[in-house]
């Protein structure tokens, strides 16, 4: 550290010699033994400044957050930064926006909140990102360190709350340690398994000074992959008569999308995907069989149950995915050791794995591909209804037909199923939604992050009347930023999917009817253009016009309140 400090000091006072009189910003004096210490003290910066500099060096463009007393030192440092702070109207909205940004950009999202209620408001969003393995850096302020556990105003054990829903949750008690932890967290998100990492900074620790040379520290990742099973895997793939690739979002996070397609094409292996990985290979590609498992296509589920060898890449094989799998040998590759359940497992990066096995001489798969072709790759859903108000499947079909190459952000509710059944995903994260946790209210704030990540794209949100009201305050964020987001609000005046379950399995509907506001007036109050439609054909026209407008628009779509989603087969 002394050598690094000495080099840094030399650079500051000039190259002409340490004994030369220099005019530093704090005055002119001759160099002496004590002068070095004085200069180095004067050069120190606060930990809050250091954190912002670290994020700048990582080329972070946006931080989504909401200020409060205990995080104000960080906001003070952020004022001088090139990073743009996006002020959401609720901390849950900030995390969902950072989540949407991460998925759309394929990079780490960053969100920030203050102690106590501010931090706890983030919990829903953090849990959502954790279940879907979305890389987030979650920064919270906290009460001063000496007051922790003293039951003072807004003091709560945040790390105990965030621990179960993050990859790591750190309480920073030393400023130099805080720099190391931050650098390590960012490195882990880049090279290890993805998900949220929580850094909790007491206010007084943020204000303490550190030597800026610490920002240059290099952090070792410590990740090593055991490739011992590679030769066995090569032989298994080459001998397979009916191989199948099962792709998860780990393919996207490892930047391996083109590698996957090249591998599949070269070896003529069909590709199925998990729900959140839809579009990792275009569903119009001849080797794509679509979504596997619950709500999967006939082709994907036939392939999954009939395959003699499945390469599961970057997926955790949830209970919904496993519904489409048979007894074929399972080779699983994932950075997360905790999800490895294959017959042969490699804890490693998908991109590195594909590079390791790219030279193969597999058996001819023409007969296998021909067999799969006899099964449907899309769902047969009747949409040609003329009723008023609209059936939801007709409304969704018109939205999808009108949105062009917009990115679709989906909320939670019965509309989620209709979107899944009717959509064709053509690129990674062209459909963005919360698959593992499914909170209502995800869609609108997530769209903020998606739009900022992909400014050249328009964004279309599909949300129900219940879901919109979970985070409707983020309409203000959309309006302030003037984002090209079209919100398609399906209004059936009820919690439709819960009503359906109550009717099917309980004694009938209870507490699911909604007395809704005038959504058009609500949007207009936020200075967002809005209209209501309820007739066949009108949805297509309205969405098409809204997307071309390149402005925030809310389209309220009145739909049949009694239409049920089809039960899974």
How large a percentage of the chain has pLDDT more than 70? 92
Q: What is the CATH number of the domain that holds 343?
A: 3.40.50.1220
Does 223 fall in a domain?
no
Residue 261 has pLDDT above 80, yes or no: yes
How many structural domains is the chain composed of?
4
Residue 488 has pLDDT above 50, yes or no: yes
Which residue, among 540, 543, 360, 542, has the nearest Cα to 459 in the 3D structure? 543
Which residue, among 256, 184, 171, 169, has the nearest Cα to 214 in the 3D structure? 184
Residue 6 has pLDDT above 50, yes or no: no
Q: What pLDDT is attached to residue 81? A: 97
How large a percentage of the chain has pLDDT more than 90? 87
CB 471 within 8 A of CB 448: no
Mean pLDDT on 121-134:
97
Residues 549, 401, single domain; the answer is: yes
Mean pLDDT on 183-212:
96
Mean pLDDT on 433-441:
93
Mean pLDDT on 258-276:
97
How far is residue 531's CA from residue 323's CA, in Å, rounded to a whole number? 41
Does 512 fall in a domain?
yes
Residues 406, 529, single domain; the answer is: yes
Domain of residue 97 covers 45-213
Does 568 fall in a domain?
no
- Nearest 10 degrees: CA dihedral of 120, 124, 125, 128? 140
Sign of the four-CA dihedral 101, 315, 372, 352 = positive
Residues 18, 49, single domain; the answer is: no
CB 279 within 8 A of CB 428: yes
Residues 367, 417, single domain; the answer is: no
Q: What is the CATH number of the domain that holds 523?
A: 3.40.50.970
Q: Which of 126-130, 376-380, 560-564 has the highest mean pLDDT?
A: 126-130
Mean pLDDT on 268-295:
96
Residues 264, 249, single domain; the answer is: yes
Cβ atoms within 10 Å, residue 85: 17
pLDDT, tens digit, 9 for 90 and up, residues 290-315: 999 999 999 999 999 999 999 999 99
Q: Which of 26-35, 360-369, 476-485 has the highest mean pLDDT?
A: 476-485
Residues 208, 235, single domain; the answer is: no
Per DSSP (E only), the strands in 411-540 are 431-432, 459-464, 485-491, 529-533
Residues 25, 60, single domain; the answer is: no
CB 508 within 8 A of CB 483: no
Mean pLDDT on 233-239:
95
Residues 548, 399, single domain; the answer is: yes
Q: What pLDDT is attached to residue 222? A: 67
Residues 502-514 as b/e (b if ≥16 CB within 10 A, e otherwise) read: beeeeeeeeebeb
Does 140 fall in a domain?
yes
Does 219 fall in a domain?
no
Does 249 fall in a domain?
yes
CB 147 within 8 A of CB 453: no
Residues 326, 418, single domain; the answer is: no
Which residue, among 433, 447, 437, 441, has the nearest Cα to 471 in the 3D structure? 441
Residues 73, 204, single domain; the answer is: yes
Residue 19 has pLDDT above 50, yes or no: no
Does 380 fall in a domain?
no
Residues 525, 428, single domain; the answer is: yes
Does 383 fall in a domain?
no
Cβ atoms within 10 Å, residue 155: 17
Residues 251, 361, single domain; the answer is: yes
Mean pLDDT on 247-258:
96
Average pLDDT over all residues of the chain? 92
Q: Give the DSSP per-residue string, 535-550.
A: STTHHHHHHHHHHHHT
How far is residue 43's CA from residue 107's CA, in Å, rounded to a whole number? 32
Mean pLDDT on 359-375:
93
Write the CA distances from 133 to 195, 254, 277, 316, 323, integer angstroms.
4, 12, 12, 10, 21
How far is residue 459's CA from residue 486's CA, in Å, rounded to a whole number? 6
Residue listed under structure tokens 């569903």: 283
- Nearest 10 degrees: CA dihedral of 483, 251, 83, 218? 180
- Least confident residue range of 22-31, 421-430, 481-490: 22-31
Degrees to nearest 5, angle at CA 380 with 374 and 382: 155
How far is residue 61's CA from residue 190's CA, in Å, rounded to a whole number? 16
Mean pLDDT on 364-387:
94
Residue 94 has pLDDT above 70, yes or no: yes
CB 551 within 8 A of CB 482: yes
Query: 416 by DSSP, 3-state: which?
Result: helix
CB 315 within 8 A of CB 321: yes
Residue 36 has pLDDT above 80, yes or no: no
CB 179 within 8 A of CB 210: yes
How far is residue 179's CA from residue 168's CA, in Å, rounded to a whole number? 15
Mean pLDDT on 390-395:
96
């Amino acid at each position: 550290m002394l050598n690094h400090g000495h080099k840094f000091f030399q650079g500051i006072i000039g190259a002409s010699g340490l004994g030369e009189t220099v005019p530093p910003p704090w005055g002119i004096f001759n160099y002496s033994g004590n002068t070095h210490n004085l200069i180095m003290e004067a050069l120190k910066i606060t930990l809050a400044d250091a954190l912002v500099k670290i994020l700048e060096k990582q080329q972070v463009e946006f931080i989504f957050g909401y200020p409060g007393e205990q995080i104000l030192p960080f906001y003070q440092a952020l004022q001088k930064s090139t990073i743009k702070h996006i002020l959401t109207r609720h901390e849950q909205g900030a995390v969902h926006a950072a989540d949407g940004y991460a998925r759309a950009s394929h990079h780490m999202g960053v969100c920030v909140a203050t102690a106590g209620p501010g931090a706890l408001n983030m919990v829903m969003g953090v849990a959502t990102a954790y279940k879907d393995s979305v890389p987030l850096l979650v920064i919270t302020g906290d009460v001063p360190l000496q007051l922790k556990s003293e039951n003072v105003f807004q003091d709560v054990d945040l790390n105990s709350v965030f621990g179960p829903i993050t990859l790591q949750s750190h309480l920073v008690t030393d400023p130099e340690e805080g720099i190391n932890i931050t650098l390590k967290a960012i490195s882990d998100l880049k090279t290890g398994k993805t998900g949220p990492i929580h850094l909790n900074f007491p206010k007084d620790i943020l204000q303490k000074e550190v030597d800026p040379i610490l920002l240059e520290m290099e952090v070792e990742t410590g990740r090593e992959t055991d490739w011992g099973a590679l030769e066995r895997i090569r032989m298994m793939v080459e001998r397979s008569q009916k191989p199948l690739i099962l792709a998860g979002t780990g393919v996207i996070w490892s930047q391996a999308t083109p590698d996957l397609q090249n591998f599949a094409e070269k070896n003529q292996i069909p590709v199925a995907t998990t729900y959140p990985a839809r579009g990792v290979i275009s569903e119009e590609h001849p080797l794509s069989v679509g979504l596997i498992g619950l709500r999967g296509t006939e082709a994907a589920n036939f392939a999954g149950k009939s395959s003699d060898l499945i390469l599961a890449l970057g997926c955790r094989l949830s209970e919904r995915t496993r519904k489409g799998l048979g007894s074929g040998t399972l080779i699983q590759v994932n950075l997360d050791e905790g999800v490895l359940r294959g017959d042969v497992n490699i804890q490693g990066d998908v991109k590195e794995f594909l590079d390791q096995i790219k030279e193969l001489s597999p058996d001819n798969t023409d007969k296998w591909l021909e067999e799969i072709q006899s099964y449907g790759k899309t769902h047969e859903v009747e949409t040609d209804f003329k009723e008023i108000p609209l059936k939801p499947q007709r409304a969704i079909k018109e939205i999808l037909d009108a949105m062009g190459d917009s990115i679709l952000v989906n909320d939670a509710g019965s509309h989620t199923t209709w979107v899944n059944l009717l959509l064709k995903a053509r690129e990674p994260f062209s459909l963005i939604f919360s698959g593992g946790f499914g909170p209502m209210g995800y869609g609108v704030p997530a769209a903020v992050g998606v739009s900022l990540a992909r400014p050249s794209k328009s964004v279309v949100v599909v949300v129900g009347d219940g879901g919109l009201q979970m985070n409707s305050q983020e309409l203000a964020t959309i309006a302030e930023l003037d984002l090209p987001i079209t919100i398609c609000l399906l209004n059936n005046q009820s919690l439709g999917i819960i009503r359906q379950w109550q009717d099917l399995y309980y004694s009938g509907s209870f507490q699911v009817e909604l007395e809704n506001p005038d959504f058009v007036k609500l949007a207009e109050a936020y200075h967002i253009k809005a209209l209501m439609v309820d007739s066949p054909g009108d949805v297509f026209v309205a969405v098409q016009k809204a997307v071309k407008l390149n402005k925030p628009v809310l389209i309220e779509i009145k739909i049949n309140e009694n239409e049920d989603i089809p039960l899974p087969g």
